[in-house]
């Protein structure tokens, strides 16, 4: 049924058993197999299989397709370099933190709301939670600093590739403000 080194020709499928398994994984995927996204999907079956292997939170893959982050030109190498599984998970977590807490609650009102429940809600763990909150703040600060460094390095590289001299674009921006 499947092609092997010894078996080729009429009545034999033109791919190996492993490729057949990968194609079935793609066919079973609820988003990739949805006709709505056919024009957004990469042409390569290996790229589609790489996408099908990632367990995206609900709605994330659809969002990546609709925004064109994943599109018909996406290659497997390009997709893997971006590690969308991690990006999707992180993006959802940050969005939830920002939308459910930062924009809905001021630090004061959230603390006042939680504080009366501290003895029963936090019980003996209150010190642990407060220490973890402090650790989260330090981690986010360090993460932000690293993101700024990576962004600035990428921006500098892009400017060099575009033919700009170091600092030229920034000087131009300051003049137009």
The per-residue pLDDT for range 94-131, each reduced to its tens digit, is: 878 888 888 888 888 887 777 666 555 555 555 666 77
Higher pLDDT, 168 or 149: 149
Both 95 and 144 in one domain: the answer is: no
Both 56 and 119 in one domain: the answer is: no
Both 2 and 76 in one domain: the answer is: yes
Last residue in a domain, options 75, 104, 133: 104
Q: How many domains does the chain have?
A: 2
Both 95 and 111 in one domain: the answer is: no
3-class secondary structure for 42-107?
Answer: CCCHHHHHHHHCCCCCCCHHHHHHHCCCCCCCCCHHHHHHHCHHHHHHHHHHHHHHHHHHHCCCCH
Q: Does 87 score more than 90 pLDDT?
A: no
Q: Please state the rounded mean pLDDT for residues 70-89.
A: 75
Say how many CA atoms lie within 13 Å of 65 toward its Cβ: 20
- Domain span at residue 169 reads 107-176
The per-residue pLDDT for range 159-172, each reduced to its tens digit, is: 777 777 766 767 76
Both 3 and 39 in one domain: the answer is: yes
Q: Does 29 score more than 90 pLDDT?
A: yes
- Give the H/E segment covering residue 24: helix 17-28
Q: How many residues does the chain have?
A: 177
Last residue in a domain, options 71, 104, 137: 104
Q: Does 55 score more than 80 pLDDT?
A: no
- pLDDT above 90 as % of the chain: 12
Both 87 and 151 in one domain: the answer is: no
Q: What is the pTM of this model?
A: 0.46
pLDDT at 28: 93
């Amino acid at each position: 049924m499947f092609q092997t080194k010894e078996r080729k020709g009429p009545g034999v499928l033109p791919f190996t058993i492993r490729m057949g398994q990968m194609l079935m994984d793609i066919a079973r995927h609820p988003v990739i197999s949805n006709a709505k996204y056919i024009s957004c999907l990469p042409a390569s079956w290996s790229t589609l299989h790489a996408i099908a292997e990632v367990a995206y939170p609900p709605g994330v893959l659809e969002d990546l397709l609709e925004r064109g982050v994943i599109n018909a030109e996406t290659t497997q190498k390009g997709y893997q370099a971006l590690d969308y599984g991690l990006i999707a998970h992180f993006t959802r977590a940050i969005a939830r933190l920002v939308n459910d807490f930062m924009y809905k609650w001021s630090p004061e009102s959230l603390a006042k709301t939680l504080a009366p429940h501290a003895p029963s809600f936090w019980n003996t763990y209150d010190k642990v939670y407060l220490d973890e909150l402090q650790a989260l703040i330090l981690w986010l600060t360090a993460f932000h600093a690293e993101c700024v460094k990576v962004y600035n390095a990428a921006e500098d590289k892009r400017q060099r590739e575009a033919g700009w001299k170091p600092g030229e674009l920034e000087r131009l921006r300051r003049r137009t403000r």
